[in-house]
Amino acid sequence: MTSSTSPVTGIASAGASIFADALDAQAVPVTRVDWRPPMDGTESDLATVATDPLRQEANRRAAEAVLGVQAMVVDVAPASEILGLEKGQFLHAGPPLEWANASGPMRGALMGAAALEGMVDDPQDAEALFQSGANVSLEPCHHRNSVGPMAGVVSPSMWMWVLEDPADGRRAYCSLNEGLGKVLRYGAYSPEVLSKLRWMSEKLGPLLKEAVGNTAEPINATSILGQMLQMGDEAHNRNRAGTLMLMRDLAPAMVQSSADAADVAETFAFMGGNDHFFLNVAMPACKVAMDAARGIEGSSMVVAMARNGTEFGIQVAGTDDEWFTGPAQIADGLFLGDYGPEDANPDIGDSAITETIGIGGFSMATAPAIVRFVGGSVPDAFATTRRMGEITLAENNRWAIPVMEFMGAPTGIDVSKVCRTGILPQINTGMAGRVAGVGQVGAGLVNPPAEIFPAALAELARRTRARQN
Amino acid sequence: MTSSTSPVTGIASAGASIFADALDAQAVPVTRVDWRPPMDGTESDLATVATDPLRQEANRRAAEAVLGVQAMVVDVAPASEILGLEKGQFLHAGPPLEWANASGPMRGALMGAAALEGMVDDPQDAEALFQSGANVSLEPCHHRNSVGPMAGVVSPSMWMWVLEDPADGRRAYCSLNEGLGKVLRYGAYSPEVLSKLRWMSEKLGPLLKEAVGNTAEPINATSILGQMLQMGDEAHNRNRAGTLMLMRDLAPAMVQSSADAADVAETFAFMGGNDHFFLNVAMPACKVAMDAARGIEGSSMVVAMARNGTEFGIQVAGTDDEWFTGPAQIADGLFLGDYGPEDANPDIGDSAITETIGIGGFSMATAPAIVRFVGGSVPDAFATTRRMGEITLAENNRWAIPVMEFMGAPTGIDVSKVCRTGILPQINTGMAGRVAGVGQVGAGLVNPPAEIFPAALAELARRTRARQN
């Protein structure tokens, strides 16, 4: 996608900034199309990758593969069953991580999960367990075809959404959303956190499994995402319409399930009271679509962006499963209660898979009310979506943004375009407290560390040269 | 509200149209603030009303009364019970009407309702019944604190939503929404139309009544409307998010009702398959709020706009319950299947109560996807909402339009402002086929006949002079 072909609802302004300032004062979205130099030290790699004869076709194929996926909700099942996860095995968000480098919320979530699995009675006792490393292992969700919001910790007894691309049977998985407040994914592990997780495994998971198996029509998460973008959700920090559509689609089967009416009613109240419930369906829907582009030789498209609370990592279609990582940043945004920037942990979670495919922060223009949650202004939201068009390979016409005259979501971050323009992907995100056990402290806007894109570009260039020699 | 104080996301352009055209070409919403002469022959009445010492305070009170109402869903019950409607009594949309002047869809709906009530076996036989006028009477919904979409026909056995302003116990009523396709409100009366209406009276109504009586929290329709405006609904021709939120709020109580699980499941499927289901809650919520301003001496605010398929009528706060009517217009819009403008009936329905309070066509900017249903473009939708700000008395800050930087819905049409600017209220609407029994043929944009505003202004001026003499 280039700015010259995309429909815009704002004004492109180069040069005379008095005109641009006058428009700003009238609250018209303005994009200042500054010429920017490429990122430092990338000129040679940019030239190499630009002349790679595979690149154009590889990127076209990668975008087409992603845009072609219809992610269907096909099952809900325990991680032990569906991923073969065994006692002591824990998945986490982001690139690979060791306990020694884990941040507060990641440690808190792991400690809570160890207690949930009965490995310790008191979550505090799990610290020694993880420190010793005996009988425990940590692995990224992405290495198991999974994604997890915030700490993204998955342990064997947790139930997971199963999304499938029916074209080839590939699957992606994500745990069930716990709601807001004190929740494991933000690093909280108090008794009420664990008791809610137990209810989710005992009641919620089995009921959802039965309902998903008995809907009149299969649930198409890709189609729900398209409708969400017409209903003020950007599917990362607003999932209200998505949650409601999921309830609508499951309701008849839930009512006719074998569960007690009181449990069904409690489940409706739980889902209906948690506007983020659909996030954990949206994420694996994005994951199963992005995975369709993995391993396409010569493609410079990012297939995953993920953070573990310490490091931010990306994976790229043309560099197999290699991670390019740098320090996770602290988001700039709005804080709950008395919390402030000093209370915030660096960026954490696999939820940036939404931005990887062009929604979340990339489609903020379609969810202008999000600025009251993550900060910024409505014109900023428009400008962000247009700016993301400058670093992406395609528009997703199935995911149209009505207010931008039905422009498609800007999809498929191109490592080359990021390095050439210096424009970084824009992510909107929840913020976890930096101390284990605290929970959420705010929400805001954040970027990846810039250096991971030149690093990925260098590897693409190395592979290009290797092919040419 | 004046254009100088309202936040805008577009550009006000007076004079040099080259600049405006250039912005148009870039798809920036542009409002051309042309000076327009007052409507013909209104100068003297405008001057009289402008100098009415009651006017300013009366309009302030009227707007404050409307904006202060919280419309709660308090019951669902049959019209026979709640309105005392007896066999042979029929309510209809719009201003008063006689069978002789009734349009095709209005006749079709009345004929279907007569069959539903067992007055005839075949709806066709009802024609003679209504022609004779014996044992039947027609009365506007508005005369019974009610509103009805399209033909708006209500007969004794139909169940109705009951909305209440808890501050003073005033109520407003509306029948239950039948869904799309062949439905009574569009003038269809085939056996499947009647059998669905019977199911609604036998199963849907009683189940909703029980659920409304057993929700954990009372359902606040005013609050749901505020959320809808952040979710792409303008609450006239898009009620998708509203329908989903209503389902969410009712679900736990529905599951625990005394109804069979199969009936509850069927009800969920019916509500979930009908994005307009909430329209019939939105309309009485608007009605109960607008009625708060009825009878305020000196106020030039419109309290009802309604059409019966033949005439379009308005009522004004300062002129008691008098109707000012003119011929209903044919909407300009998009047609279903092979239908065209020649198949469309003139404008019909009480649903313009949504525009009367500032949503529907007045808030199209917040529902840009609506243009795919009613026609027009996204910039048109923005321009319409801004233009409606020129003829209204207030902004409803509780109903904010995020994409216009949280500008409040433009609320309370001022008869004086309409006459002074010549700007007519913008309504978006469904279109009924002009032949009885056909049903919906399209959806589009329509205005009231211009002459009803000078007529209302003349009566306001007459009353002003009478007070001054």
- Mark yes or no for CB contact B266/A252 under 8 Å: yes
The answer to whether the beta carbons of residues A177 and A224 sit under 8 Å apart is: no
Q: State residue B33's pLDDT score.
A: 53
Residue type at B315 in one-letter notation? Q
Phi-psi region of B224 (alpha: psi -120 to 50; beta: other; left: phi over 0): alpha
- CA-CA distances (angstroms) from residue A400 to A227, A358, A407, B404, B413? 9, 11, 5, 19, 34
Residue type at A424 in one-letter notation? L
**How many CB atoms are located within 10 Å of the residue B40 CB?**
11
- Mark yes or no for CB contact A23/B11 under 8 Å: yes
- CA-CA distances (angstroms) from residue A112 to A86, A117, A127, A128, A434? 16, 9, 10, 13, 16
Beta bridge partners of A427: A446
- Mark yes or no for CB contact B251/A272 under 8 Å: yes
Q: Do domains A11-68+292-468 and A72-285 have the same CATH topology?
A: no
Residue type at B104 in one-letter notation? G
**Residue of chain B whose Cα is closest to the Cα of A230:** B232
Q: In 3D, which of A8, A465, A2, A54 has the Cα closest to residue A295?
A: A54
CATH number of A72-285: 3.90.1710.10
Helices (H), B118-160: 126-132
Closest CB from B27, B247, B402 relative to A369: B402
Q: Please give the average per-residue pLDDT across A127-133, as a whole number.
A: 96
Which residues, 6+ apart, have CB-to-CB distance to A15 below 8 Å?
A: none
Residue of B227, B234, B248 to mutate, interface with A, max A Cβ within 10 Å: B248
A137-140 and A348-349 strand pairing: unpaired
- Mark yes or no for CB contact B7/A28 under 8 Å: no
Q: Which helix (H) or strand (E) holds B113?
A: helix B104-116
Extended strands (E) in B170-301: 170-175, 219-220
DSSP B192: H
Range scoring the smallest mean pLDDT among A127-136, A388-397, B371-380: B371-380
Angle at CA A161, nearest 5°, toward A344 and A303? 65
CA B230 – CA B26 distance, rounded (Å): 26
> Which residues of chain B neighbour A368 with C-beta distances below 8 Å?
402-403
- Mark yes or no for CB contact A269/B255 under 8 Å: no
Angle at CA A436, nearest 5°, toward A435 and A442? 60
Which residues, 6+ apart, have CB-to-CB distance to B41 below 8 Å?
A: B454
Q: State residue A12's pLDDT score.
A: 38
Closest CB from A248, A252, A256 relative to B244: A248
**How many CB atoms are located within 10 Å of the residue B226 CB?**
16
Q: In 3D, which of A171, A236, A220, A243 has the Cα closest to residue A409?
A: A236
Give rounded-to-5 percent helix, strand, coil for chain B.
45, 20, 35
CA B443 – CA B374 distance, rounded (Å): 5
Q: Enter the tokens of residue B29.
A: 């919403």
> Which residues of chain B neighbour A231 with C-beta distances below 8 Å?
231-233, 240-241
Residue B427, Cα to own-chain centre: how many angstroms? 9
Task: Using DSSP, state whether A135 is helix, strand or coil.
Answer: coil
Q: In 3D, which of B5, B41, B54, B60 has the Cα closest to residue B419?
A: B41
Residue B465, Cα to own-chain centre: how many angstroms? 32
Residue A6, pLDDT above cutoff 60: no
The answer to whether the beta carbons of residues B314 and B302 sit under 8 Å apart is: yes
Q: Enter the tokens of residue B121.
A: 């076996």
Range scoring the smallest mean pLDDT among A222-231, A263-272, B436-445: B436-445
CA A142 – CA A258 distance, rounded (Å): 34
- Mark yes or no for CB contact A28/B28 under 8 Å: yes
Compute the nearest-CA separation of B242 from chain A (Å): 10
Q: State residue A34's pLDDT score.
A: 58
Q: State residue B182's pLDDT score.
A: 87
> Which residues of chain B neighbour A371 with C-beta distances below 8 Å?
402
> Which residues of chain A neighbour B27 with C-beta distances below 8 Å?
7-9, 405
Helices A452-468 and A43-50 sit at what angle, rounded to 10 degrees?
50
> Which residues of chain B neighbour A377 with C-beta distances below 8 Å?
405
> Which residues of chain A neighbour B244 with C-beta distances below 8 Å?
241, 244-245, 247-248
CA B467 – CA A468 distance, rounded (Å): 94
Q: Percentage of chain A with pLDDT > 90?
A: 88
Q: In 3D, which of A449, A182, A445 has the Cα closest to residue A334?
A: A445
Beta bridge partners of B453: none
Beta bridge partners of B89: B137
Closest CB from A230, A255, A368 relative to B264: A255
Closest CB from B26, B248, B369 relative to A8: B26
The answer to whether the beta carbons of residues A413 and A390 sit under 8 Å apart is: no
Mean pLDDT of chain A: 92
CA A154 – CA B360 distance, rounded (Å): 45
- Mark yes or no for CB contact A29/B9 under 8 Å: yes
Compute the nearest-CA separation of A183 from chain B (Å): 23
CATH number of A11-68+292-468: 3.90.1700.10
Residue type at B297 in one-letter notation? E
Closest CB from A10, A244, A369 relative to B28: A10
Max Cα separation, chain A?
A: 68
**Residue of chain B whose Cα is closest to the Cα of A403:** B368
Q: Enter the tokens of residue A138.
A: 């940590």
Q: Which string of DSSP letters, residue by residue, matches A146-158?
A: B--STT--B-TT-
**How many CB atoms are located within 10 Å of the residue B99 CB?**
16
Q: Which string of DSSP letters, residue by residue, matches A349-418?
A: EGGGHHHHTT-GGGGGGG-GGGHHHH-S-HHHHHHHHHHHGGGEEEEEEEEEEGGGTTEEEEEEEBHHHH
Residue of B11, B214, B219, B230 to mutate, interface with A, max A Cβ within 10 Å: B230
**Number of CB pairs < 8 Å for A and B?**
134
- Mark yes or no for CB contact A265/B249 under 8 Å: no
- Mark yes or no for CB contact B265/A245 under 8 Å: no
> Which residues of chain A neighbour B254 with C-beta distances below 8 Å?
255
The per-residue pLDDT string of chain B (469 residues; one tens digit each, 9 = 90 and over) reads: 333 333 333 333 333 344 444 444 444 444 555 567 899 999 999 999 999 999 999 999 999 999 999 999 999 999 999 999 999 999 999 999 999 999 999 999 999 999 999 999 999 999 999 999 999 999 999 999 999 999 999 999 999 999 999 999 999 999 999 998 889 999 999 999 999 999 999 999 999 999 999 999 999 999 999 999 999 999 999 999 999 999 999 999 999 999 999 999 999 999 999 999 999 999 999 999 999 999 999 999 999 999 999 999 999 999 999 999 999 999 999 999 999 999 999 999 999 999 999 999 999 999 999 888 898 899 999 999 999 999 999 999 999 999 999 999 999 999 999 999 999 999 999 999 999 888 899 999 999 999 999 999 999 999 999 998 7
Report domain extents, chain B.
11-68+292-468, 72-285
Closest CB from A29, A264, A405 relative to B255: A264
Q: How many CA atoms lie within 13 A of B280 on its CB side?
A: 25
- Mark yes or no for CB contact B265/A251 under 8 Å: yes
> Which residues of chain B neighbour A253 with C-beta distances below 8 Å?
265
Task: Using DSSP, state whether B167 is helix, strand or coil.
Answer: coil
φ/ψ of A208, rounded to 5, equals -65, -40
Q: Enter the tokens of residue A99.
A: 């306990």
**Residue of chain A whose Cα is closest to the Cα of B211:** A265
Q: Please give the average per-residue pLDDT across A157-180, as a whole number.
A: 97
Which residues, 6+ apart, have CB-to-CB distance to A5 below 8 Å?
A: none
Torsion of CA A384, A363, A330, A457, to 10 degrees: -80
* Exposed e or buried b per residue across A268-290, where buried means at least 16 C-beta atoms within 10 angstroms of its C-beta: bbbbbebbbbbbbbbbbbbbbbb
- Mark yes or no for CB contact B265/A272 under 8 Å: no
Compute the nearest-CA separation of A244 from chain B (Å): 6
CA A92 – CA A316 distance, rounded (Å): 20
CA A201 – CA A180 distance, rounded (Å): 18
Q: Please give the average per-residue pLDDT across A310-326, as a whole number.
A: 98
pTM: 0.92
Closest CB from B231, B371, B406 relative to A240: B231
- Mark yes or no for CB contact B251/A262 under 8 Å: no
Residue type at B444 in one-letter notation? G
